[in-house]
């Protein structure tokens, strides 16, 4: 399997485009999974300076809680998918 990583993923250490090769020699391929990592909005150079927006602590706490709840939902869905695969 070959996977291309977005430009600048290892910046500022290198600007060379990167691909990942994954091999599994334990048997024939049963499933192929494809992943896409979208580029973040805004500047594409991670080493570039960007303006920081300061938010009140209450807003930060609410944002953190929202993200944790989304993570719990994603992990729950993943566990359900994995348990279905184990039954097959």
- Kindly report which listed range (16-20, 59-63, 81-85) carries the lowest average pLDDT score: 16-20
Q: What is the pLDDT of residue 59?
A: 94
Domain ranges of the chain: 2-38+55-87
Alpha-carbon gap, residue 78 to 87, rounded angstroms: 14
Q: What is the number of other CB atoms lying within 10 angstroms of the CB of residue 80?
A: 10
Per-residue pLDDT at 46 exceeds 60? no
Check if the beta carbon of residue 46 is closer than 8 Å to that of residue 12: yes
Per-residue pLDDT at 28 exceeds 70? yes
């Amino acid at each position: 399997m070959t996977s291309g990583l977005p430009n600048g993923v290892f910046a500022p250490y290198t600007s060379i485009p990167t691909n990942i090769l994954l091999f599994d020699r334990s048997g024939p391929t049963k499933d192929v999974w494809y992943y896409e990592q979208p580029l973040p909005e805004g500047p594409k150079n991670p080493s570039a300076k960007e303006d920081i927006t300061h938010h009140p602590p209450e807003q930060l706490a609410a944002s953190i809680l929202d993200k944790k709840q989304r993570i719990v939902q994603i992990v729950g869905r993943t566990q359900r998918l994995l348990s279905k695969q184990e039954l097959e």
